[in-house]
Amino acid sequence: MAVGEFDLIAKYFARPVRRAVLGGGDDCALLQPTRGMQWAVSTDALVEGRHFLSTVPPDALGHKSLAVNLSDLAACGAKPVAFTLSLTLPRVDEAFLAGFAEGLYALADAHDIELVGGDTTAGPLNIGITVMGEVPPGQALRRGGAKPGDELWVSGRLGDARLALEAFRGQVSLRGEAFEDVRRAMERPQPRVALGLALRGIASAAIDLSDGLVGDLGHVLRASAVGATLRLADIPHGVHVAACSEAQRRTCLLAGGDDYELLFAAPASAHARVRDAGARAGVPVACIGTLDAEPGLRVVDTHGAPVALTERAFDHFISG
Amino acid sequence: MAVGEFDLIAKYFARPVRRAVLGGGDDCALLQPTRGMQWAVSTDALVEGRHFLSTVPPDALGHKSLAVNLSDLAACGAKPVAFTLSLTLPRVDEAFLAGFAEGLYALADAHDIELVGGDTTAGPLNIGITVMGEVPPGQALRRGGAKPGDELWVSGRLGDARLALEAFRGQVSLRGEAFEDVRRAMERPQPRVALGLALRGIASAAIDLSDGLVGDLGHVLRASAVGATLRLADIPHGVHVAACSEAQRRTCLLAGGDDYELLFAAPASAHARVRDAGARAGVPVACIGTLDAEPGLRVVDTHGAPVALTERAFDHFISG
């Protein structure tokens, strides 16, 4: 049975709208922005082999597709409001659609946001999401506000997603519960929305970690025209990354990719307020370095001795 | 030379922002909605073989990708403000990127809108755009407002894009200037934004024609809970469609696809105001039928005799 575009969208994605004035099914969705608020917008597409493996369960893919976009709103300290979905599918696979919609909506519901527009087309699998959120004028976290002397912080723990990728690639051997642990980090990242909101007025700059610590920190340093000293031993990680060889651990921590944690700077005087923001958001935060007037990135070991840096950004365009 | 995602985006798509508070290059773009206005949002992806042929010049593809999205804003009577672009490309092809960006920005400039966020990934060619526009509360044109007794109107002329597709497929023979004429309609549709704005407060319902007249009219009829009588002879078309066989002409006019004209309803008492709106927008408008209390679609010939209807919607998911 041929199921047309309209039926497909309706069956798995149509829901009554709640806050939106008009939801999907017309030419446009209509939203009423809260008076005086700024509108934060971000878009990210997910492509098989770049952002996810063919082995990913559909519900995890639905979750991750929205999660990586919400992570961008989190990095701006914006409160998520709505999103659109543009889904290109090789075929009408109802089991896939049902699972994908389930994972997508579970995360949308957790953040109380609505799907307000959709588009489904036949073609190689491609998942495009645009998220919209609100932030009071002047309060958005940006990449460009870090100052020399600020402390550098990161949320959660890094490297598990990259370790899972290495395990899928057969580069490391992980079994049973250990494999499931890191696989969960790769397939079901938790966007740090509550932390982003809690850091408004505290953090001087922020970015979400999608391409690895070194690469994404580089964006902050360039935008803020500062340098940084990063303490390798203070980068938070789990037991599976700790059990790796030193070279593998450095790859996972410095060039991981897909961490979807927040990297942010804050004045040293705000140290306790940052800890408090993390506690309120229920997310561990770790101070991993300082920002310097001297340009460039310096990585130091537990003794403060310099560590030569060979890692670069995890680039979804170039690498696999 | 490997050119990374960031360099690519910067080289062809980065521009200083004008109206946006913060443009691409941070985690989110920041926009300041005009006080009291509603926000109209729509998303459409373009996939090779479904929405365009591999023979399309890159600048035409850049134009069309934005045009089909602006057409959705036009159908809502929304004023375009900004858009995001998610570009999945099989390889770094600088000639393609330069042409694509040129066509995209020419249309963006013509409508005074900004690219506020982008994402570039490696993978099968896929172009995802989300457009955002503004409309005063209660003034958005929707699909569901048509009333029995309203007149049915369409802008421009229909069928040229479908005729071009048939020519590319070898189903009809068109040469030289004739082929270039219809090819232009297929590859460079003009979104009827000015007409959509001019129809605010006049049209009772509107939709843009992307999937063919019969299919898209069906959406309006269902949403408005009305029927319609469509006068086949009054559907505006050009000389090349006129020269077709009757069967081909009917396919082009009723099930064309890719027309990107506005189909709208308005009270008969507003007939002169609709003509005036078309004149102000510089777009021809033609009255092609009436809306009826009786459900269903009736197509009649020049003598008012019923014409049996076999055409269906042009479905980008199912058909080629």
What band does B257 get if pLDDT is binned at 50, 70 and 90? Answer: confident
E strands along A6-138, which residues? Answer: 29-31, 38-47, 79-89, 114-122, 126-135
What band does A304 get if pLDDT is binned at 50, 70 and 90? Answer: confident
B52-66 b/e with 16+ CB inside 10 Å = b? bbeebebbbbbbbbb
Average pLDDT, whole number, for chain A? 89
Express each pLDDT in B167-194 by its tens digit. 998 889 998 999 999 999 999 999 999 9
Contacts of A121 in chain B (CB under 8 A): 45, 47, 50-51, 316-317
Distance between alpha carbon A67 and the CA centroid of its chain, in Å? 6
Give the model's pLDDT for residue A311. Answer: 62
Tokens of A236: 């938070």
Q: Which of B5, B31, B41 is the closest to A117 by Cβ?
A: B41
Do the beta carbons of residue A57 and residue A187 sit within 8 Å? yes
ipTM score? 0.86
Pairwise CA distance, residues B108 & A12, whole Å: 33
Give the model's pLDDT for residue A61. Answer: 96
Neighbour tally for A19: CB within 10 Å: 13
Pairwise CA distance, residues B174 & B181, whole Å: 10
Give the model's pLDDT for residue B213. Answer: 96
CA of A121: which chain B residue's CA is closest?
B317
Neighbour tally for A51: CB within 10 Å: 21
- pLDDT higher than 50, residue B320: no
- pLDDT higher than 70, residue B7: no
> B45 vs A208: CB contact, 8 Å cut-off?
no
E strands along chain A, which residues? Answer: 29-31, 38-47, 79-89, 114-122, 126-135, 151-155, 205-208, 227-231, 262-266, 285-292, 297-300, 306-307
E strands along chain B, which residues? Answer: 29-31, 38-47, 79-89, 114-122, 126-135, 151-155, 205-208, 227-231, 262-266, 285-292, 296-300, 306-307
CA of B137: which chain A residue's CA is closest?
A32
Strand order in the sheet with B29-31: A114-122, A79-89, A126-135, A38-47, B29-31
Binning chain B into helix, strand and coil, the percentages to the nearest 5 are 35, 25, 40
Pairwise CA distance, residues B306 & A168, whole Å: 63
What band does B83 get if pLDDT is binned at 50, 70 and 90? Answer: very high
Give the model's pLDDT for residue A315. Answer: 46
Tokens of B72: 């959705």
- pLDDT higher than 90, residue B85: yes
DSSP code string of B32-72: -PPTT-EEEEEEEEEEBTTTB-TTS-HHHHHHHHHHHHHHH
Do the beta carbons of residue B174 and residue B163 sit within 8 Å? yes
What band does A5 get if pLDDT is binned at 50, 70 and 90? Answer: low
Neighbour tally for B91: CB within 10 Å: 8
**Segment of A303-307, B235-239, B256-260, B310-314 carrying the highest mean pLDDT:** B235-239
Residue positions counted in chain B: 320
> A206 vs B123: CB contact, 8 Å cut-off?
no
What band does B23 get if pLDDT is binned at 50, 70 and 90? Answer: low
Residue pairs between chains A and B whose CB atoms are closer than 8 Å: 235
Bridge partner list, B289: B152, B230
User: CA-based diameter of chain B, in Å?
Assistant: 67
Give the model's pLDDT for residue B55. Answer: 82
Give the model's pLDDT for residue B1. Answer: 30
Which of B1, B22, B43 to mutate to test binding with chain A, by most A CBs within 10 Å of its CB?
B43
Q: Which domains does chain B have, with CATH numbers?
A: 5-135 (3.30.1330.10), 151-307 (3.90.650.10)
**Higher confidence at residue B46 or residue A17?**
B46
B92-118 b/e with 16+ CB inside 10 Å = b? beeebbebbbebbbebbeebebbbbbb
Coil, strand, or helix at residue A93?
Answer: coil
Q: Which of B50, B119, B315 is the closest to A43 by Cβ?
A: B119
- pLDDT higher than 80, residue A3: no
> A41 vs B31: CB contact, 8 Å cut-off?
yes
Q: Tokens 């017309």 identify what position? A: A26
- pLDDT higher than 70, residue B87: yes
Contacts of B30 in chain A (CB under 8 A): 38-41, 76, 135, 140
Distance between alpha carbon A49 and the CA centroid of its chain, in Å? 18
> B130 vs A130: CB contact, 8 Å cut-off?
yes
Contacts of A28 in chain B (CB under 8 A): 40-42, 72-73, 75-76, 78, 133, 140
Q: Which of B5, B44, B317 is the closest to A315 by Cβ?
A: B5
Least confident window among A48-52, A251-255, B309-313: B309-313
Give the model's pLDDT for residue A93. Answer: 83
A27 among annotated binding-site residues: yes
